């Protein structure tokens, strides 16, 4: 979730919905806001896209965010982008516990909560954890993230003013969370106001837009290694001929973008580590391998560095493993010649590999050392799961194609926003 992700594990969530004993403040009712004079959403043509510039970087910020307008009149919210969860939520003036922004930057509800009988509320709750007593109850939610952060609140719907690549400007009403009780891990408060959930569940923004006929059920991002990039909803920006695809796992846990099995390759040779199940998670700054894969790749990197003018240092706490050169490194480009490329070779797709240059698994710290951006997931409770974080997704267009149940990537210039 949002926050200082340098100390964060990842944003992969269980989307746990709990019954709440508290009654939400009286300002909510079942009534909808008055309709605006905007063009009907049905006037749009299927297959268009919405594109948003991104802000942030892997290091030192540790997050990528997008500015989204919500409401009428529209108000801007900076949200953490997260393909590891479904629910979009914003800090809510209702009143709020754990909100990090002044009241004027919070979302103000306007008698627009979802009732328990709403199909989105029904889809979002599992039968075992459904807190609703009657269909007329308000639709409460609680989402818990693996970094021990959480948001508790009520589901609402409101206008999302969007500009589409076919020239139309529409304001569809989308459901999201109005979070009035947040908890954040670590000592620092988050710079963002919430999270935009881009997973493949029915509650995600992309799924809602697809059901309305506004976009295909496709979402993607292009994260620049220089900082920034762009996010897109829909598929008309994708040059499919250049993309390498691997199928989404049919037994994908929850609603995450999972693929595999994959084999870990080091400098073009097999490491013997096979059968890796991978989750692509834009909410994680770094990559997490299970204990076997992590130890194998660390040993290979260390052995390959033996005799080179670069030495491991325990003085730099930026990441668990760092090296110092004869003089401080200014960029990964200064250090990359000491390191070999990695790759993930997908068993279920012929000749498909996610090629990973040293830039895709290293950072240069503020101390001028080069640090290993792959961490041991088994040490933080991931067990056998492997998380592909932002560091391995840089300078590539990533496409999560829910229409065809596949994940794709292609090299891209993420510094340039696509033309509409």
Residue 104 and residue 114: Cα distance in Å, rounded?
Answer: 24
> For this structure, is 360 an active site residue?
no
Annotated catalytic residue within 82, 158, 235, 360: 82
Annotated catalytic residue within 281, 316, 360, 401: 281
> For this structure, is 281 an active site residue?
yes
Start-to-end C-alpha separation, the chain: 30
Q: Is the Cβ–Cβ distance between 183 and 199 less than 8 Å? A: no
List, in order, residues 6 or more apart from 397 with CB less than 8 Å away: 220, 221, 222, 238, 243, 409, 410, 411, 412, 414
Smallest CA-to-CA distance from 407 within 221, 214, 186, 204 is with 221
**297-334 burial by CB neighbour count: b if 16+ within 10 A, else e?**
bbebbeeebeeeebeeeeebebbebbbbbeeebeebee
Residue 344 and residue 253: Cα distance in Å, rounded?
Answer: 20
The vertex-284 CA angle with 234 and 16, nearest 5°, equals 80
Smallest CA-to-CA distance from 338 within 316, 296, 369 is with 369
Residue 253 and residue 357: Cα distance in Å, rounded?
Answer: 29
Residues designated catalytic? 82, 281
């Amino acid at each position: 979730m949002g926050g200082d992700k340098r100390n964060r594990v990842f944003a992969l969530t269980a989307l746990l919905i709990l019954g709440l004993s508290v009654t939400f403040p009286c300002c909510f009712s079942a009534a909808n806001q008055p309709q605006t004079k905007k063009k009907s959403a049905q006037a749009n043509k299927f297959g268009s896209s919405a594109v948003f510039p991104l802000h942030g970087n892997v290091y030192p910020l540790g997050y990528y965010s997008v500015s989204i307008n919500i409401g009428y009149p529209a108000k801007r919210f900076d949200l953490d982008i997260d393909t590891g969860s479904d629910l979009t939520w914003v800090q809510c003036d209702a009143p709020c516990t754990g909100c990090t922004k002044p009241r004027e930057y919070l979302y103000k509800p306007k008698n627009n909560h979802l009732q328990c009988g709403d199909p989105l509320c029904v889809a979002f709750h599992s039968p075992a954890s459904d807190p609703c007593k009657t269909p007329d109850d308000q639709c409460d939610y609680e989402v818990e993230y693996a970094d021990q952060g959480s948001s508790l609140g009520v589901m609402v719907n409101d206008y999302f003013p969007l500009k589409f690549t076919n020239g139309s400007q529409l304001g569809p009403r989308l459901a999201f969370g109005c979070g009035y009780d947040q908890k954040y891990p670590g000592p620092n408060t988050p710079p963002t106001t919430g999270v935009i959930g881009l997973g493949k569940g029915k509650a995600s923004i992309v799924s809602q837009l697809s059901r309305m006929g506004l976009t295909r059920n496709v979402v993607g991002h292009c994260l620049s290694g220089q900082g920034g990039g762009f996010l897109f909803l829909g598929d008309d920006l994708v040059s499919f001929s250049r993309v390498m695809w691997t199928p989404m796992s049919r037994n994908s846990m929850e609603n995450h973008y999972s693929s595999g099995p994959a084999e870990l390759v080091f400098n073009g040779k097999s490491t013997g580590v096979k059968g890796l199940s991978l989750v692509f998670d834009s909410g994680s700054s770094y990559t997490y391998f299970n204990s076997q894969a992590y130890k194998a790749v660390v040993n290979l990197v260390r052995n390959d560095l033996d005799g080179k003018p670069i030495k491991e240092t325990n003085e730099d706490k930026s990441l668990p493993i760092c090296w110092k050169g004869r003089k401080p490194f200014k960029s990964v480009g200064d250090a990359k010649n000491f390191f070999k490329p990695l790759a993930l070779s997908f068993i279920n797709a012929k000749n498909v590999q996610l090629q990973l240059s040293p830039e895709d698994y290293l950072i240069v710290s503020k101390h001028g050392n080069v640090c290993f951006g792959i961490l041991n997931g088994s040490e933080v409770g991931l067990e056998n799961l492997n998380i592909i974080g932002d560091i391995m997704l840089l300078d590539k267009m990533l496409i999560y194609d829910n229409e065809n149940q596949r994940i794709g990537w292609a090299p891209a210039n993420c510094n340039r926003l696509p033309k509409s």
